[in-house]
Amino acid sequence: MSDAQLRVALVQLEIAWEDPAKTFLRARPWLEHAKSAGARLAILPEMFATGFSMAAERIAEPEGGPIERWLGETARALDLWLVAGVAQRPSGDATGSLPVNAALVVSPSGAIAARYHKVHPFSFAREHEHYRGGDGVATAAIEGARVTPIVCYDLRFPELFRVAADSTDVFVVIANWPAARRAHWQTLLRARAIENQAWVLGVNRVGEGGGLAYAGDSMVVAPDGEVIASAAMTETALVVDCDCARVDFARASFPVLRDRRPDAYRTIR
């Protein structure tokens, strides 16, 4: 049970393709806007500094690398929690291991509060040939709210959300979701909120990169499926209050999660 009120800013950004320095300049004013609007958590898209590039050998950095350091320094300077995506080579990986498509949760002290590695590489774009999948979820406590980051294509796999539902108030889905499948993005964000009775915050990019167009459509969906706010096809920051008590109310007033039958699901044939 949580009565946390978390003000969040969904930063819908146009990413400079494989150019972190230029993207930092674009992102910083939006994060400053988030701070001035009273947000405590600001969210940037998947691979926010480079775009969804398959040039992993060029863009993936070690943990603690330049993009992660920029996030930590910015979080400290603005006294903000951040969630953002970055291509990384985890510490301790064997030589030759593929990097991961990571979502970092950064505290206002600049420390990493959680690292999530995208579980489902997007094989349609051959992501699995350049990045390996993670093997679990990660949840961080952010000022009383339980926040679970998810990355892009993971949105198509309800199992991932379900395994985290009991310990999550807010799912954060960061993405580079192409305009060609924007209807899927909009529908699946609402579906994940309805079926898990949790907040779902979808943060997508805009503009063009790697030959693809991105429509944005960032969205805040309440635990009952109500769309609280949504964006169009331009850079913007949606600032919204997420009341975690709505999660408790939804689950108590319509207790669908109590009727799950995981024992039966394993034997369906």
200-228 per-residue burial string, b: 16 or more CB within 10 A, e: under 16: bbbbbbbbebbebebbbbbbbbbbebeee
Name the active-site residue from 68, 118, 127, 242: 118
Q: E strands within the chain?
A: 5-12, 41-43, 61-62, 81-89, 100-106, 112-117, 140-142, 145-151, 170-174, 199-203, 206-209, 212-215, 219-221, 227-230, 236-243
Q: Which pLDDT value is given to residue 94?
A: 67
Bridge partner list, 62? 89
Q: How confident is the model at residue 17 (pLDDT cuts 50, 70, 90)?
A: very high
Q: Determine whether 156 is exposed, middle or buried from the number of CB atoms within 10 Å of its CB (0-12, 13-18, 19+).
A: middle
46 noted as active-site residue? yes
71-97 per-residue burial string, b: 16 or more CB within 10 A, e: under 16: bbebbeebebbbbbbbbbbeeeeeeee
Q: Is the pLDDT of residue 248 over 60?
A: yes
pLDDT digits 0-9 by tens, 61-117: 999 999 999 999 999 999 999 999 999 999 877 667 999 999 999 999 999 999 999
Bridge partner list, 230? 219
Q: Describe the strand order of the beta sheet including 170-174 as a list of residue ranges.
A: 140-142, 145-151, 170-174, 199-203, 219-221, 227-230
Can you give the pTM of this predicted structure? 0.96
Q: What is the mean pLDDT of residues 204-223?
A: 97
Q: How confident is the model at residue 1 (pLDDT cuts 50, 70, 90)?
A: low
Residue 204 corresponds to which amino acid? N
Q: Which pLDDT value is given to residue 198?
A: 98
With contact defined as beta carbons under 8 Å apart, do 225 and 256 qualify? Answer: no
pLDDT digits 0-9 by tens, 140-190: 999 999 999 999 999 999 999 999 999 999 999 999 999 999 999 999 999
- Taken as a whole, the chain contains a residue count of 269
Q: Which pLDDT value is given to residue 95?
A: 66
With contact defined as beta carbons under 8 Å apart, do 104 and 68 qualify? Answer: yes
Q: What percent of the chain has pLDDT over 90?
A: 93
Q: Which pLDDT value is given to residue 268?
A: 67
Name the active-site residue from 14, 46, 61, 127: 46
Bridge partner list, 105? 83, 114
152 noted as active-site residue? yes
Residue 66: HSE in the Cβ half-sphere, 13 Å Cα cutoff: 9
* The CA-based dihedral angle spanning residues 19, 179, 205, 228, taken in that order and rounded to the nearest 10 degrees: 180
Residue 5's φ and ψ, nearest 5 degrees, are -115, 115
With contact defined as beta carbons under 8 Å apart, do 99 and 65 qualify? Answer: no
Name the active-site residue from 61, 127, 152, 242: 152
For each of the domains in the chain, give its residue range(s) and CATH number, in order of start.
5-265 (3.60.110.10)
Beta strand pairing status for 199-203 and 140-142?
unpaired
